[in-house]
Amino acid sequence: MEKEQYQQLEQSVTPKPPYFKNVAKAFFVGGIICTVGQAVSLFYIIFFNFTEATAGNPTVSTMVFFAMILTGFGLYKKIGQFGGAGSAVPVTGFGNAVISAAIEHRSEGLVLGVGGNLFKLAGSVVLFGVVSAFFVALIKYILVTLGVVSW
């Protein structure tokens, strides 16, 4: 059987993925996560007198913590299997990635297992965030120093 014939046979028997259903589930799960995040933000604003501008940092920390707890109990994996990208795109996906690597390597010990692999999946995200923040701050400094922008 030639390569083209095999590819045609493969395409004829491979089921078509339910794109609309997958997008709807991702939108639903991502929306629920963001709604919980908004509720946490309002909690900080109402009960701890944060402003909308200052409630962001504790809200992000709380959502990452929630994701880590759910991952520890094995629930975030089920949410991810149902919602796909809807569970990975919000900041909770970062918390899940960090704690998943730590849980996976816990049998190797605390230092080499958990500590060495904690940021294996999320390390590139942290690195990219730090490097891009540095360059944005550098560009801002140069523009303010030159008088192009007043800050």
Q: What is the pLDDT of residues 76-120, one digit of tens each?
A: 999 999 999 899 877 888 888 888 877 777 777 777 777 777 777
Tens of pLDDT, residue by residue over 41-61, are 999 999 999 999 999 999 999
Residue 1 to residue 14: CA distance in whole angstroms: 18
Tens of pLDDT, residue by residue over 109-151, are 777 777 777 777 677 777 888 999 999 999 999 999 998 887 7
In sequence order, the 6+-apart residues with CB closer than 8 A to the CB of 149 are 140, 143
Find the radius of gyration of the CA atoms of the chain. Answer: 22
| 135 SS3 class | helix
Q: Residue 114 in contact with residue 94, Cβ under 8 Å?
A: no
Residue 149 to residue 142: CA distance in whole angstroms: 9
Residue 18: phi and psi, rounded to 5, are -80, 80
**What is the pLDDT, as a whole number, of residue 117?**
73
- How far is the CA of 91 from the CAs of 5, 33, 109, 115, in angstroms? 45, 9, 27, 21
The torsion region of residue 119 among left (phi > 0), alpha (psi -120 to 50) and beta comes to alpha
Q: Residue 98 in contact with residue 119, Cβ under 8 Å?
A: yes
Neighbours of 87 (CB within 10 A): 25
